[in-house]
Amino acid sequence: MKRPNISAFNNLLEKNRIEALTDGIYAIVLTLSVLMIGTGLYSGSVDGSTFYPALSDAIPEIFNYALSFFLLSIFWTVHHRQMNSISHVDSVYIWLNMVSLFFITLVPFTTNLNSDFSEYPLAVAVYAANIMVISLSYTISWAYATRGHRLVADDIPDAAIRNGIRRGLLVSVVSLFVIGAAFIMASEWATSFYLLVFVVGFFIKNPEMKESPV
Per-residue pLDDT tens for 67-93?
999 999 999 999 988 888 888 888 889
Which residues of the chain fall below pLDDT 70?
A: 1-14, 36, 38-54, 202-214
3-state SS of the chain is CCCCCHHHHHHHHHHHHHHHHHHHHHHHHHHHHHHCCCHHHHCCCCCHHHHHHHHHHHHHHHHHHHHHHHHHHHHHHHHHHHHHHECCCCHHHHHHHHHHHHHHHCHHHHHHHHHHCCCCHHHHHHHHHHHHHHHHHHHHHHHHHHHHHCCECCCCCHHHHHHHHHHHHHHHHHHHHHHHHHHHCCHHHHHHHHHHHHHHHHHCCCCCCCCCCC
pLDDT of 208 reads: 42
pLDDT of 3 reads: 45
